[in-house]
Amino acid sequence: MDETVAEFIKRTILKIPMTKMMTVLKAWDFLSENQLQTVNFRKRKESLAQDLVLLCEENGVSLNDAALLDIICEDIDLSDMEQFKSSFKKILQRALKNVTVTFRDTEENAVWIRIAWGTQYRKPNQYKPAYVMYYSQTPYAFISFSQLRSNTPLLCQALTIASKHHQIVKMDLRSRYLDSLKAIVFKQYNQNFETHNSATHLQERRLGLDINMDSRIIHENRIEKDRVHRVTQEIFGDYSQPRLEFAQYKLETKFKSDLNGGILAEREEPLRCLVKFSSPHLLEALKSLASAGIADAPLSPLLTCIPSKGMNYFKIKDK
């Protein structure tokens, strides 16, 4: 066997942390169960590596096999995830004696967590769980808080510690659609989501335009229409928008009025006012406002910044 291959395998094995060793070797599936049993995993890593290399030589390891081992080392993140899960569960169980924590792995290094809350003296209430979707390779978690709100700080704390971060920040972004939240947070919204649909949609749109080109219908404000369309495209793009149901603006600003006087004008304290927009698909609705003649184009940046800022709950104060 090539000296370089042996050296490569030895160095790769030395890079693997001991906690991952068995997992990696099993996943590699190059050494048989019997062979692995003959190895003493309690030895120092240096001599363990040498033993493993000898076994590999017996099996006639090739460069390809070595490369595969390397890939597996990169790929297997299992123990990081396992560590997170056990740490998370321990933290919650230490704080509350009665809590049910369930995990479900999904693709893309993500895990679904379900937590049913109890108290020191009461069994967990299985009907009001909280759900968390955690992406281990990113600093983001998506949480659906349970109705038992008092446990929220504990949940946040457990997530922070288990994922080895310093603090957790609650984003002002809420929606019922996890995919849309993911799209906004991971900045994936400015591509055509479902490419199949977008192809047919484009076709339909072109067809629609042709039908409207009935020469007996004349649009007097063609120029303005085109401008509105162009501005809307520039701001919202050609892709389908992520799905949000609300945008909320909490205003704490001084009342400004064109009319002189009036009860609300000239007050020192800011006016407190809440404006809430709701829609089955808010961003698509905002996109169609200008062309429907309901609003001027371009729309206020307070509305159009929602996906780029990743917020749909705003607090507005005077500068």
Residue 213 in contact with another protein, rule: CB under 8 A:
no
Q: How far is CA 190 from CA 105, 229, 236, 282, 305, in A?
A: 27, 18, 9, 16, 14
Say if CB 224 and CB 248 are below 8 A apart.
Answer: no
Strands 130-135 and 271-278: unpaired
317's torsion region: left (phi>0), alpha (psi -120 to 50) or beta?
beta
DSSP 170: -
Closer to another protein at the Cβ: 218 or 259? 218
**Segment interacting with another protein (CB under 8 A) among 139-147, 197-205, 212-220, 255-263:** 212-220
* Residue 224 binds another protein, judged by CB under 8 A: yes
Q: Work out whether 225 is an interface residue with another protein (CB under 8 A).
A: yes
> Which of 221, 253, 300, 308: binder of another protein (CB under 8 A)?
221
- Residue 208 CB, shortest distance to another protein, in Å, is 10
Rounded to whole angstroms, how far apart are CA atoms 162 and 32?
35
Longest dimension (CA), the chain: 94
- Binding flag, residue 212, another protein (CB under 8 A): yes
26, 86 Cβ separation under 8 angstroms: no
Applying CB under 8 A, does 214 fall inside the site for another protein?
yes
Among 196, 178, 197, which Cα is nearest to 188's?
Answer: 178
Name which position in 11, 97, 123, 219 contacts another protein (CB under 8 A): 219
In the shown chain, the binding pattern of residues 155 to 194 toward another protein, with x for contact by CB under 8 A and - for none, equals ----------------------------------------
> Residues 217, 259, 263, 274: which binds another protein (CB under 8 A)?
217
If one asks whether residue 291 binds another protein (CB under 8 A), the answer comes out as yes
The reply on whether position 207 binds another protein by CB under 8 A is no
Q: Report the C-alpha gap between 306 and 309 in whole angstroms.
A: 5
Closest CA to 115 of 170, 162, 62: 162
Binding-residue pattern over the window 235 to 274 for another protein, x denoting contact by CB under 8 A? ----------------------------------------
Q: Which residues bind another protein (CB under 8 A)?
A: 211-212, 214, 216-221, 223-225, 291-294
